[in-house]
């Protein structure tokens, strides 16, 4: 095992946002172009929350940040992950090999991590049934893990974390808050003594996290997400530390904004199918808009998000699902 991260000449992008809580800016090769990861210290012990992607630029940024605050990489004894996505967990295998610390992740994320790297013939069939014009191919669509290539090098966790677990950084308590929605096992980390909440992608200050229905995933992720927003509203928080965007206050107000946003989207989709049954793809084009220059990835993501709203409407008894041959359509009730 090595005992140091590779050295590159790069200005450290790190700041102390609360006592012994550091925000580190790591570059991403897409938008958003930055992911914030967090470094906690108490006494002799350090903990890193999320890793960013596997890239030379990201590793250089982390190296410079650790040096700036005097943290030897081998002093990081725990790697906590909010969720399995490439911009949060993509460098976990490399950092574990270099640092040697234990990796903590929710068990539901392990399932999705495995699915992310698997083949995707199931995904192609799923998309076609919901109206997405996926080209016929015996191999189906490439797995998302393959699409990310070398940027995604995840490891399997040493320890599984669950809701209400209490981890320790020296004498400091870190409470695990399970917040499913963006992913099934997404977790926030709450520091009750500091009244700080590290939220990953759950409660972003300017953008709404992607909430979608995927093959093999939860049936009602948007319902899960809204309940998770209500859950964190009950916490006593003075400072919110997101994965994308600036730190902010008033988490209750931001959670309320996100809930209202999805109520509006649900109503749009309900209105779109009052008179005629449509596929999720057709509804997505109507609600989110279409264009010749829109990448297929964006259209697919919009279809997954549309399905999340339709499934919640189903659970509320406001929409019917109609299976007609190889197509699935939805109609308002």
- For 289-310, the pLDDT digits (tens) are 865 566 777 888 999 999 999 9
Closest CA to 180 of 270, 308, 39: 308
- For 8-21, the pLDDT digits (tens) are 445 679 999 999 99
pLDDT of residue 3: 45
Q: What percent of the chain has pLDDT over 90?
A: 76
Q: And the tokens for 214? A: 């995927």
pLDDT of residue 150: 83
How confident is the model over 142-169, as a mean pLDDT? 85
Alpha-carbon span 73 to 62, nearest angstrom:
10
Average pLDDT, the chain: 90
Q: Residue 295 class from Cβ within 10 Å (0-12 exposed, 13-18 middle, 19+ buried)?
A: exposed
pLDDT of residue 1: 36
Q: Which domains does the chain have, with CATH numbers?
A: 14-265 (3.60.15.10)
pTM, entire model: 0.92
Q: What percent of the chain has pLDDT over 70?
A: 89
pLDDT of residue 11: 63
- For 100-114, the pLDDT digits (tens) are 889 999 999 998 887
Does residue 117 carry a pLDDT above 70? no
How confident is the model over 156-182, as a mean pLDDT? 97
Does residue 136 carry a pLDDT above 70? no
């Amino acid at each position: 095992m090595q005992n140091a991260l590779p050295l590159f000449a790069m200005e450290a992008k790190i700041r102390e946002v609360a006592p012994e809580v550091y925000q580190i800016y790591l570059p991403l090769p897409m938008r958003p172009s930055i992911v914030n990861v967090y470094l906690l210290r108490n006494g002799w012990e350090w903990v890193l929350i999320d890793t960013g992607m596997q890239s030379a630029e990201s590793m250089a940024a982390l190296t410079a940040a650790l040096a700036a605050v005097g943290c030897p990489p081998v002093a990081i004894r725990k790697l906590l992950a909010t969720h399995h996505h490439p911009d949060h967990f993509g460098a976990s295998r490399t950092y574990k090999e270099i640092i040697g610390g234990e990796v903590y992740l929710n068990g539901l994320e392990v399932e999705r991590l495995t699915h992310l790297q698997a083949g995707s013939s199931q995904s192609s069939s799923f998309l076609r049934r919901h109206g997405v014009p996926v080209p016929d191919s015996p191999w189906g669509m490439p797995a998302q893990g393959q699409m990310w290539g070398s940027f995604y090098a995840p490891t399997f966790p040493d320890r599984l974390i669950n809701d209400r677990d209490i981890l320790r950084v020296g004498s400091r308590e870190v409470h695990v808050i399970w917040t499913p929605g963006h992913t099934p096992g997404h977790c926030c980390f709450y520091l009750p003594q500091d009244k700080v909440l590290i939220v990953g992608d759950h409660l972003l200050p300017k953008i709404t996290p992607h909430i979608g229905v995927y093959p093999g995933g939860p049936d009602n992720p948007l319902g899960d997400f809204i309940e998770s927003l209500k859950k964190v509203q009950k916490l006593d928080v003075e400072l919110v530390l997101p994965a994308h965007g600036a730190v902010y206050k008033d988490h209750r107000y931001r959670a309320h904004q996100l809930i209202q946003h999805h109520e509006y989207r649900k109503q749009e989709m309900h209105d779109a199918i009052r008179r005629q049954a449509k596929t999720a793809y057709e509804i997505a084009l109507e609600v989110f808009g279409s264009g010749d220059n829109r990448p297929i990835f964006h259209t697919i993501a919009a279809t997954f998000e549309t399905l999340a709203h339709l499934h919640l409407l189903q659970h509320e008894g406001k929409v019917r699902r109609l299976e007609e041959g190889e197509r699935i359509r939805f109609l308002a009730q």
